[in-house]
Amino acid sequence: MSAGTKYRLSIDPERCVGHGRCYDLAPALFAPEDDEGHARVLVQIVPADQLERARMAVASCPEGAVILDEA
């Protein structure tokens, strides 16, 4: 990972079923979107100090719905 690399965060709405782990783990990055707990992202480009949280959210989503890729 180079120092200037930016990472983009997104959620695959086809996969998200609303476990809510992402916004429990990283409330600065995700929020609930509806009454069923589906998530939305609050940022597209992850701030450097939230990158570890973003990675934890990727690892913790049971549906593999959190996507983190290079911007």
Q: Give the range of 1-9, 20-28, 44-52 binding ligand SF4 by CB under 6 A.
A: 20-28
Q: Is 39 in the site for ligand SF4 (CB under 6 A)?
A: yes
Alpha helices in the chain (DSSP H): 21-25, 51-60
Interior/surface letters 11-39, b for 16+ CB within 10 angstroms, e for the rest? beeeebeebbbbbebbeebbeebeeeebb
Q: Copy the structure tokens of residue 62.
A: 């049971």
Q: Give the range of 1-9, 10-18, 42-50 binding ligand SF4 by CB under 6 A.
A: 10-18
Q: Is 26 in the site for ligand SF4 (CB under 6 A)?
A: no
Q: Which positions lie near ligand SF4, rule CB under 6 A? A: 11, 16-22, 37, 39, 61, 63, 65-66
